[in-house]
Structure 1
Amino acid sequence: MRASSLFSLRNLGTAAWVLTLAACSSSSEEIYGEIRALGDFRGGIATWYDATGAGHCGYDASPNDMDVAAMNAPEFSNSAVCGSCAEVEGPQGTVRVRIVDSCPECASGHLDLSKQAFAKIAPINDGRVTTQWRLVSCAVQGPVRYRIKEGSSEWWVGIQVRNHRLPIQKFEYQKNGSWVEVKREPYNYFVASSGMGPGPVKVRITATDGQKLEDTLPEIKAEKTFDGAAQFSLQ
């Protein structure tokens, strides 16, 4: 368990996300440069904790990218929100954060921000402030990436999608000419309990707005990360 500040309300745990595709396709889908709004602003609160960039979503620590946050329990949705981004407006500023963790004790609308992110919207000593926030596209660089989980083999494999501009709704792989959907686990890996073979493996990911990307993973090898061929569009 990671260190937490006085103002954090949580420990690691499982939770459920109730943000729906309908919410992500509201009338406020505006484009701001390289950022696309994925829903309307809604009221909420923000606290802070001593984040590292790692957490329930299974990402590596990110010391050079500390504008991160944990999603409240009702909206974490079995890790479906992991890697998504949110724009948060506080009393003294605005910050865009990437969701890397869950906050099981936080109620709907509550974001637990990294200390660095919280400092951009309010004084650290405030600890807890009223905000409004909405989901937005992530300002990522380069193509999507695929991380093969430790312990994976041709007989059991976990794959995590990283560096995605839009939230991931579905992961599939091709078997005997047909697409097979892979279950997403609470720790943010898509796990094929019977494996996908040694590779190459053709995979397909679908964003919450319906966009699809297809890639071929050259092999299934534990702890390897492969770049995809493209990135989701803002349009």
Structure 2
Amino acid sequence: MNTPRQAARQRRQRRRLIFGAATAVICAAVAAVLVMVLLPGGDSDAQSVATATDATTDRPSPSTATATTKPSPSKSPSPSASKSSASAKPKPTATPRPSRKPAAAPQAGRIRPGATYQGVATHYEAGDGNGACLFGPSPDLMIAAMNTTDYETSRACGAHVLVRAANGKTVTVRITNECPSPCAPGQIDLSKQAFAKLAALNAGRIPITWSLVSPSTSEKISVRYKTGSSRHWCAVQAIGHRNPVARLEVRTSGGWRQLPRTMYNYFLAENGNGCGGAIRLTDIYGEQLTVPALAVRPDVAQPTGLQFARR
């Protein structure tokens, strides 16, 4: 039989065992909760806290990073990408973009009104001024040959061009000739007389800008049939026009017939259809002038009394 002191000692031991067991159970429960929180797919409240923390630091959580950084094929490139592409694109030197808004010219080819082009000027011995455009001798030698690219199958023939040198000097010339390779796009080969208005001839080659102009003139347009023309075959051209001619048509029994343009600046009717009939001229602005029927007189410039409007 235990003494009172022994009994008291045993009771104290039992209380310590019970308290220790309870403490162990509580610790185990806390550990289980922590494991559930920290494992992926755990408590949704804990995930909300993590996402909120990411948002406050301006850093997307892993679940949203993929969605925000994946490119969308339907969207335009970012501004930085566009800027990079633009800087890598070669800058045109021969026929740059217009420096001001071009005038309406639905029939214009490469040379458009209102556009300023860059290039170089050289010079050549122009003789009497006749050239690839076959206008014949020129009344003055303020003329030039256009590079083959901008000559554009003689579309440039008769165009009036204002040429400006880097020193600020200018000269207006009429295109009467073609400058073949090695003349580059944008290059104009001036008569020596025209080049001398800009720089000394010994300069040889100078940088320029140039643009199409529609000058004041008292001259009227003439029409000429080429040597060898008849009612069975003919080639016809316009001379002395203020603005470039974009199209030439002849009147036939079936209506107006557009003639193809040659490199030597005549419009050709190989089967003779329309030769000797009325002629309709259209400039690059779309203005049309109708010339009454003219006799087929080869190599004779026949006056029309007509002229395109100044632009």
User: What TM-score does the superposition give when structure 1 sets the normalisation length?
Assistant: 0.81
1:211 aligns with 2:287: yes
Q: Which amino acid aligns with 1:203?
A: I
RMSD: 2.3
2:137 counterpart residue number: 61
Q: 2:178 aligns with which of 102, 109, 113?
A: 102
| Higher strand proportion | 1
Indicate if the aligned counterparts of 1:72 and 1:109 stay in contact, CA closer than 8 A.
yes
1:132 counterpart residue number: 209
Q: 2:116 aligns with which of 41, 45, 54?
A: 41
2:52 counterpart residue number: none
Instruction: State the shift of 1:86 in Å.
Output: 0.5
Inter-partner Cα distance in structure 2 for 1:28 and 1:172? 26
Number of aligned residue pairs: give it: 206
Which of structure 1's runs of 4+ aligned residues deviate more than 6 A? none
Q: Which amino acid aligns with 1:47?
A: T
Q: What stretches of structure 1 of length at least 5 have no aligned partner?
A: 1-17, 30-36
Q: 1:183 aligns with which of 260, 264, 267?
A: 260
Higher relative contact order structure (alpha carbons within 8 Å, sequence separation ≥ 6) = 1
Q: 1:113 aligns with which of 164, 184, 190?
A: 190
Inter-partner Cα distance in structure 2 for 1:113 and 1:131? 12
Greater alpha carbon shift after TM alignment, 189-198 vs 127-136: 189-198
Indicate if the aligned counterparts of 1:47 and 1:113 stay in contact, CA closer than 8 A.
yes
Pair 175,149 (structure 1): closer, same or farther in 2 beyond 3 Å: same
2:78 counterpart residue number: none
Identity, in percent, stands at: 36
Q: Which amino acid aligns with 1:154?
A: R
1:155 counterpart residue number: 232
Instruction: State the shift of 1:222 in Å.
Output: 1.3
CA deviation string 1:177-199 (max 9, x = no partner): 51100111111001100114663
1:9 counterpart residue number: none
Inter-partner Cα distance in structure 2 for 1:86 and 1:156? 33
Q: What stretches of structure 2 of length at least 5 have no aligned partner?
A: 1-93, 104-111
CA deviation string 1:71-127 (max 9, x = no partner): 012111111110111000114410000001111111111000000000001111101
Inter-partner Cα distance in structure 1 for 2:101 and 2:166? 25
Q: 1:122 aligns with which of 182, 192, 199?
A: 199
| Higher helix proportion | 2
1:83 aligns with 2:147: no
